Amino acid sequence: MHIIPMFLQDAASVPMGGMGGSGLITFVPLLLLLVIMYFFMIRPQNKKQKETEKMIAALKKGDKVITVGGIHGTIASTKEKTVIVKVEDGSRIEFNRTAIATVVVEKSSESEKIEEKKGLFGKKTDKIVAEIKDKDAEPAENAESESGTTKDE
């Protein structure tokens, strides 16, 4: 009927030395968990923070940027803690350097210009999106060529 008092009596009757190991072994899973948390959570976050600080320190006049709020523009001038961003219609807005989320890097190739965005997470998002679209388009093209019909017919 009263199960909890029976467990307490059993636990009180076991001597401390009868646990079957030292107290250090009980902390091994906890230490292992902390090491795993360091490598999967803390270390990558510090790495991202250093990349972001490096990006913010390298801002210069003429860079195309996207702010945290989603405003696209070009840096007109820089100050110690702020940058002045010129948007499409010619207006200028002053932002803290920390409000810059992405610097848009333009690379020109022979056939076309490809914009790669290197954001807070260090990923080149446009390139990844383009690869996904290409992979999605390939099966559709293969199906059309096998059937001998196109969408226009």
Q: In this structure, are residues 32 and 25 in contact, taking their beta carbons and an 8 Å threshold? A: no
* pLDDT mean across residues, the chain: 76
The reported pLDDT for the residue numbered 96 is: 95
Q: In this structure, are residues 60 and 98 in contact, taking their beta carbons and an 8 Å threshold? A: no
User: Which tens digits make up the pLDDT trace of 41-76?
Assistant: 999 999 999 999 999 999 999 999 999 999 999 999
The reported pLDDT for the residue numbered 84 is: 95
CA torsion angle 58 60 64 65 (round to 10): 50
Exposure string of 28-47, with b = 16+ CB inside 10 Å and e = fewer, is: eeeeeeeeeeeeeeeeeeee
Which parts of the chain have pLDDT scores under 50?
A: 110-116, 151, 153
